[in-house]
Amino acid sequence: MRIAPVDLGYLIDRSTELCARVAEAWEDQPRDAAGRAGPEVVATGLDHLFAVLQRIEEPMPAGPPGRLSATELRDLATYGVGLLSELAACARKLGMDREAGAAEALTVPFSVLMAREGAELSALEPVVNALAALANGLSDPAELAQLFGLMGEIMNAVGVVLTQDMERNDPQRPWRILLLNRAIVATRSHRPNLMATAFDAIVEHLPEEAARFFEEGMAQMDILDYPPHVRDVMERYYLRQGPAPRTLH
């Protein structure tokens, strides 16, 4: 698995290709099984969305201003993630798991592109799931370090409502998973500076889980035979946080 470029041209070409594949298979389905509008509606929506983004990136000299309001950017980001998720759902309904995974993966470069345009990201769950799938397919430390950077850009663009983390009783909340997975990716990159950045975020945003995270991290140091410089960082945070609280059953 490769990390897709954060490039509008790539997003247009790849999504067009996926829409065409899914639409072709969709047309072969009985009307009552698949319907007739799914992938075509997604393709039309993506065409309109990318046309707006092209005007932002390359405004015409005589045309209207390219910049959008914060609300408009946020809504476009949410709309785009929704369209790509719907394309993935159409593909999965047809048993096209490869195309479904590819559509889901596009939510990552799309969200980073929107973040770089200044958009607040509120449709987080599909993106976090795609990041996890991407991380599971990588093993090279340099690629993992690159992925860490993308995760950081997404994290920094997440809307304030999500970062307030009000639903702490839900272990599957996307904000929590993003923070934890980012720390795991940093560890697997073998980069102490990235580990420190991600670990500090765990301590700040998930203080009630920090001790357990670093305790489990120390166990992984032995299981996966991490190099000494990685172990040193994990051990430093483990000792700083103290032992994880024990629960009696």
3-state secondary structure of 158: strand
The residues spanned by each domain of the chain are 1-123, 124-249
List pLDDT tens digits, range 55-109.
988 755 555 555 789 999 999 999 999 999 999 999 999 999 999 999 999 999 9
Which residues, other chains included, contact 224 with Cβ-Cβ below 8 Å and sequence gap of 6+?
none
3-state secondary structure of 207: helix
Helix (H) or strand (E) holding 240: helix 228-241
Rounded to a whole number, what is the largest CA-CA distance in the chain? 70
3-state secondary structure of 2: coil
CA atoms of 45 and 42, how far apart (whole Å): 5
List pLDDT tens digits, range 209-225.
999 999 999 999 989 99
Cα end-to-end distance, the chain, whole Å: 42
Band of the pLDDT at 170, cuts 50, 70, 90?
A: confident
CA atoms of 99 and 97, how far apart (whole Å): 5
Which residues, other chains included, contact 241 with Cβ-Cβ below 8 Å and sequence gap of 6+?
203, 210, 211, 214
pLDDT of 248 higher than 50: no
Mean pLDDT on 192-213: 96
CA atoms of 215 and 196, how far apart (whole Å): 16
List pLDDT tens digits, range 223-242.
999 999 999 999 999 999 87
Band of the pLDDT at 34, cuts 50, 70, 90?
A: very low
Give the per-residue pLDDT at 67. Answer: 75
Q: How much is the mean pLDDT over the chain?
A: 91
CA atoms of 176 and 235, how far apart (whole Å): 22
